[in-house]
Amino acid sequence: MPVEATDGGVERVSIREPAPVGQHVRRRAGDVQRGRTVLAGDGRVLSPGRVALAAASGVCEVVVGARPRVAVVSTGDELVPVGQVPGEGQIVDSNSLMLALLVTAAGAEVAVRTSARDDEASVSATLAEAGDTADLVITTGGVSMGAYDTVKQVLSSSGAGRFSKVAMRPGMPQGSGRVGSRGTPVITLPGNPVSALVSFHVFVLPALAALGGASVDASRWPDPLGRGTEAVAGEEWPSAAHKVELTRVRVDERRICRSGGQGSHMLGALAEATHLAVVPAEVERVHVGDVLLCLPLLGTVP
C-alpha cells in the first residue's frame, strides 16, 4: 500500500483506497528461482550487473580469466612520437596510440607500446621482446610489397609468419605468426591508419575475445562476435568490386550515412564514424534503402 494512498499515520493508519491483493509485493524467487545458474562459466564478461547478481546471491568469489596482455608495436623509420612536430618525410605515430586505446576499450591490457625501425635487427629484437612480455602482439606497418616491408621480411624469412591478401577494403595486406621464446601469437596489421583500425575490429577483437574465453564463430566473419546491427542506407555510394568493403559511416536512428572520405589515410572520416558498414563482396554500389550490417566502433558507440 503506497503511503500516498493513506493519511500517512504511523501508530494508526487510515487507508483511503482499495488495495488489490499482491500489489507491490516482491515475492521470494520472483526474480531468480532456486536451482537456476546465476553465472555460467561461458566466457562472458563479468559485467557490473552480473557482479551484483553474484553478490546478492551470496557468491563472493568467482574464477575469472585474466585480461589478455597485448604488446602494440608500430614500425617505420618515418614515425615520430605523438607530440613531436613531423619534419619532411615524417609522420606522427598515431597508430600505436589508437591501437593501445582500442586494446583497452576491448577490455584487455596494454603490456607495452613501442616502435621499431625499418631494419631487420630492430624489428626482430622488438618482436622477440614484445612476445616475451605479452599474450598477444599486434604490429602496424611493413606488411605490403615494398623493399622496406620489414615485418613481413623478418617473419617470412624465419618461417614464423604467414602473409596474404584478404579480399577486403581497407585492410588488404594481413599477416600473423608467432614471436618470442613462448611462441606468442602476433597479428601484423597494415600501416595505413584506417586499415589498422578496421583490421583491429575484424581480426584482433575476435582474437582477444577468444583469449578471454568467449566463443567466436569464425564463419560469421567479419562479425564473428555477433556485435553488428542492421541499418538502412540513407545515401548511395560505390564499393570495391570483389572485396568486402568496411565503409566508415554514422548510424543515426538506423539510417546510414558515410562519415566522410574513404581513403585508408583519412582520419577525419574515421573520427566522425560510429560504425563500419559491411558491404558484401558482390555489391559494387550501395543504393538508398539497402539494409547493411553495421559493426559498432569500439569506444565510440556505448
Name the residues that contact ligand MOO, by CB under 6 A: 169-172, 190, 192, 195, 264
Q: Are strands 255-258 and 229-233 parallel, antiparallel or unpaired?
A: parallel
Of 175, 177, 180, 191, which one interacts with ligand LQZAQKY5 (CB under 6 A)? 191
Q: Between 256 and 264, whose beta carbon lies closer to ligand LQZAQKY5?
A: 264
Alpha-carbon span 214 to 201, nearest angstrom:
16
Query: 191 contacts which partner out of ligand LQZAQKY5, ligand MOO, none, CB within 5 to 8 A by kind?
Result: ligand LQZAQKY5
Q: Does 193 bind ligand LQZAQKY5 (CB under 6 A)?
A: yes
Q: Between 190 and 222, whose beta carbon lies closer to ligand MOO?
A: 190
Q: Does 150 bind ligand LQZAQKY5 (CB under 6 A)?
A: no
In whole angstroms, the minimum distance from the beta carbon of 195 to ligand MOO comes to 3
Q: Are the beta carbons of 28 and 14 closer than 8 angstroms?
A: no
Binding residues for ligand LQZAQKY5 restricted to 201-260, rule: CB under 6 A: none
Whole-Å CA distances, 80 to 50, 77, 192, 284? 43, 8, 15, 38
Alpha-carbon span 58 to 118, nearest angstrom:
56
150-157 vs 120-133: helix axis angle to the nearest 10?
A: 70
- What is the 3-state composition of the chain as percent helix, strand, coil, each rounded to the nearest 5? 25, 25, 50
Task: Name residue 209's amino acid.
Answer: A
Q: Are strands 91-92 and 255-258 parallel, antiparallel or unpaired?
A: unpaired
Q: Between 164 and 215, whose beta carbon lies closer to ligand LQZAQKY5?
A: 164
Q: Between 155 and 240, whose beta carbon lies closer to ligand MOO?
A: 240
Phi/psi of residue 162, each to 5°? Answer: -130, 140
Residue with cell 589478455: 68
Q: Are strands 79-80 and 91-92 parallel, antiparallel or unpaired?
A: parallel
Beta bridge partners of 231: 292
In whole angstroms, the minimum distance from the beta carbon of 245 to ligand LQZAQKY5 comes to 12
Q: What is the DSSP letter of 153?
A: H
Binding residues for ligand LQZAQKY5 restricted to 66-85, rule: CB under 6 A: 74, 76, 78-79
In whole angstroms, the minimum distance from the beta carbon of 191 to ligand MOO comes to 9
- Name the one range near ligand LQZAQKY5 by CB under 6 A: 48-56, 57-65, 140-148, 290-298: 140-148
> Residue 216: helix, strand or coil by DSSP?
coil
Q: Measure CA 68 to chain center.
A: 13
Of 173, 177, 180, 228, which one interacts with ligand LQZAQKY5 (CB under 6 A)? 173
Q: Between 53 and 166, whose beta carbon lies closer to ligand MOO?
A: 166
In whole angstroms, the minimum distance from the beta carbon of 287 to ligand LQZAQKY5 comes to 26
Residue number, nearest CB to ligand MOO: 195
Contacting residues toward ligand LQZAQKY5, per CB under 6 A:
74, 76, 78-79, 91, 93-96, 140-145, 149, 170, 172-173, 190-193, 195, 264
